[in-house]
Structure 1
Amino acid sequence: MPDTVREFIGVYDADGTVLGEARYWIGARLGRTHCALCEITHGLFTERADWRRCRDQLDVGFQTYHRNDAPEDVLAVGSPAPFVVARTDGGLVALLGPEELDACAGDVEEFRRALMRACAERNLDGI
């Protein structure tokens, strides 16, 4: 019997402090820092419009955190960042890790396909 997804949770490979945000932004521009989930969800300064559309079309919410402000139970299931997990009736389920997110190459539609594929492979329902 499939588990029902209640929400998706993504964790960025960046810190959510002012200094952390600045450090990531500068490092990314210089090619020294990389977060595949950031590339999927954000443009130069703000959330991407195609990401917002994708997120809003999901049947459940998609919450994001930075590695320093994510809940401990989420970090325990999904590390290392970046990653995406599903909160289900049965608990947290790891869906996409750094390699799978890198394979999306910043493409929101490819991310959506990877997310749906990961859910299907784990017999998750409600999405």
Structure 2
Amino acid sequence: MEFVGIYDADGTLMGELRYALGKLTGRAKCALCDITHGWNPTGSRQWKQACDASAVELDLVHRDEATPAQLATVTALPSILARDGDGWREAMTSTEIADCDGSPEALLEQIAQL
């Protein structure tokens, strides 16, 4: 099954800077960013190790990189979508992602059960 995670942040340089500043000041939060990157802009080592140990394939995109069809499917960002025939369905909500408490293993285990 094809899965796509959509960050609650833009992928442009300005978007990344805006998110980093918002995170530092407590005004921006993205549970998916926390799981995959933490404070490391190139990605956390724990995330990379969890991906290497998991059979789950998860493509990650920023909200400005997501398609209109993907964005129309989500209730709130961040979100994990699954391909459903020719369309998408929300497989994990922002609350369910946050419930993983920053754990890459927990997120990938949840996705594997979908």
Which whole-Å deviations, capped at 9, do the CAs of 1:44-84 have from their partners, x for residues lacking one? Answer: 22211221233344445321111112111111112421000
CA contact (8 A) 1:39 1:106 kept: yes
Which of 23, 27, 49 is the matching residue for 2:22?
A: 27
Q: Which amino acid is the alignment partner of residue 11 of structure 1?
A: I
Is 1:92 aligned with 2:91? no
Structure whose alpha-carbon radius of gyration is higher: 1
Give the strand-richer structure, 1 or 2: 1
Kindly provide the amino acid, as one letter, of the partner of residue 108 in structure 2. R
**Structure 1, gaps ≥5 residues long:** 120-127
* Letter aligned with residue 107 of structure 1: S
> Matched residues in 1 for 2:61 and 2:38: separation?
17
Query: Is the alpha carbon distance of 1:24 and 1:77 closer, same or farther for their aligned partners in structure 2, counting shifts above 3 Å?
Result: same
Provide the rounded CA distance (Å) in 1 between the counterparts of 2:112 and 2:66. 23
Partner of 1:124: none
Q: Runs (4+) of structure 1 moved beyond 6 Å?
A: none
Structure 2 residue 49 is the aligned partner of structure 1 residue 53: yes
* Structure 1 residue aligned with 2:72: 76
For 2:9, which of 10, 14, 38 is the aligned residue?
A: 14
Alpha-carbon RMSD: 1.8
TM-score of the pair, normalised by structure 2? 0.86
Unaligned runs of 5+ in 2: none
When the two structures are superposed, what TM-score results if normalisation uses the length of structure 1?
Answer: 0.78
